[in-house]
């Protein structure tokens, strides 16, 4: 996969750099939002409900992509997907998740797609804590990060639900998003918010297009109310160097393909490989670099 960078786009403290690929993978993969809309995906609590596991049924004839950090809302509490994974066609399987609504454990409704994913700070902390190959290790970090977000924004939810915080800034989200366009051959994005840098890259444009707004909103919510402007040079090309097989460490796989940790001196992330092709990868610079000029 040959990746190139597009022109920088800016709004507030956020700088977005599109990741482009002229020869994307032409694999038929279903995303979770589309799967829900078409009635091809069912998500439910396990027969014996647990915080860290839910059931996903893929009734489609194509593999279903679940992206690390995207949220499903409802049932006994909202959850975020624990790792990127491909669910085989016509398959029901338990998957690892993190709770994103600490203050509720009673049935509310059937699961539906939240249209949000964990905010960028939570995704970053989650990547750091998952290095022991256990989703459970990151649960405390997820709850702490959501609590920090609420304190920072002075916007509290009765059940400490991440989703509630997003819904309170919907108009602001729209104001930001109109500054960030999508290239025809865009497959991912590098985002910088002050000294925090994150990357997401997908197999092809159609998959990225489905997740673009969710990814951008995950940075927007961390910038709302932030009055400090940081504008300086940063080597975005260097961020792509982290998506390199020499940094991949195999982890437990759910569904099709193989899952890996990405661990470098700069930070951590995850990748999902299927049939020798990259389906999704993310990477976040670690906390030690956040107070430095990158």
**Angle of helix 139-153 relative to helix 120-129, nearest 10 degrees?**
160
| The total number of structural domains that make up the chain | 1
In a domain, 150, yes or no: yes
Q: Residue 16: inside a domain, yes or no? A: yes
Q: Which string of DSSP letters, residue by residue, matches 58-88?
A: E-SSSPEEE-TTEEEE-TTS-EEESS-EEEP
Query: pLDDT tens across 204-243, in order?
Result: 999 999 999 999 999 999 987 666 666 667 788 888 887 7
Q: Each residue of 109-156: pLDDT tens digit? A: 999 999 999 999 999 988 887 655 456 678 888 999 999 999 888 888
Residue 294 lies in a domain: no
**176/64 Cα distance (integer angstroms):** 30
Of 16-20, 27-31, 64-68, the poorest mean pLDDT is in: 27-31
- pTM here is 0.91
C-beta separation of 208 from 186 below 8 A: yes
Query: Does residue 290 carry a pLDDT above 60?
Result: no
293: pLDDT confidence band, cut at 50, 70 and 90?
A: very low
Identify whether 223 is part of a domain: yes
Q: Could you tell me if residue 29 is inside a domain?
A: yes
- Is residue 190 one of the residues assigned to a domain? yes
Q: What's the pLDDT at 112?
A: 93
The residue behind tokens 């910088």 is 192
Give the span between the Cα atoms of 6 and 189, in whole angstroms.
9
Domain-located, residue 242: yes
Q: If we measure between CA atoms, which residue out of 36, 43, 16 comes closest to residue 115? A: 36
Pairing of strands 64-66, 112-117: unpaired
Residue 55 is assigned to a structural domain of this protein: yes
Which H or E run contains 176?
Answer: helix 170-177
29: containing domain: 4-289
pLDDT digits (tens, 9 = 90+) for 75-117: 999 999 999 999 999 999 999 999 999 999 999 899 999 999 9
Partners of residue 225 on adjacent β-strands: none
pLDDT (0 to 100) of residue 228? 61
Residues 231 and 133: their CA atoms lie apart, in Å, by: 36
DSSP-derived secondary structure letter, 138 = G
pLDDT (0 to 100) of residue 28: 87
């Amino acid at each position: 996969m040959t990746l190139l960078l597009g022109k920088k786009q800016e709004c507030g403290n956020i700088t977005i750099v599109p990741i482009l690929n002229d020869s994307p993978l032409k694999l038929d993969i279903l995303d979770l939002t589309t799967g829900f809309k078409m009635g091809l995906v069912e998500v439910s609590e396990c027969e014996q409900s647990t915080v860290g596991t839910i059931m996903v049924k893929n009734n489609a004839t194509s593999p279903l992509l679940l992206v690390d950090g995207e949220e499903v809302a409802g049932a006994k509490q909202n959850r975020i997907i624990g790792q990127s994974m491909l669910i085989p066609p016509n398959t029901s399987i338990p998957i690892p998740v993190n709770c994103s609504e600490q203050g509720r454990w009673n049935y509310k409704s059937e699961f539906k797609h939240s249209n949000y994913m964990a905010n960028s700070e939570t995704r970053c902390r989650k990547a750091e804590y998952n290095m022991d190959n256990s989703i459970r290790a990151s649960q405390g970090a997820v709850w702490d990060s959501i609590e920090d977000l609420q304190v920072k924004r002075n916007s509290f939810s009765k059940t400490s639900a991440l989703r509630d915080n997003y819904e309170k800034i919907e108009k602001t989200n729209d104001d930001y998003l109109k500054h960030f366009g999508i290239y025809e051959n865009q497959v991912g994005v590098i985002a910088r918010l002050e000294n925090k840098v994150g990357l997401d890259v997908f197999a092809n444009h159609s998959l990225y297009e489905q997740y673009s707004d969710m990814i951008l909103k995950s940075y927007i919510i961390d910038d709302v109310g932030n009055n400090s402007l940081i504008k300086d040079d940063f080597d975005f090309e260097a961020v792509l160097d982290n998506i390199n097989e020499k940094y991949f460490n195999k982890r437990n796989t759910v569904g099709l393909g193989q899952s890996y940790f990405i661990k470098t001196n700069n930070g951590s992330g995850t990748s999902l490989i299927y049939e020798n092709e990259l389906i999704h990868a993310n990477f976040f610079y670690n906390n030690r670099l956040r107070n430095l000029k990158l």
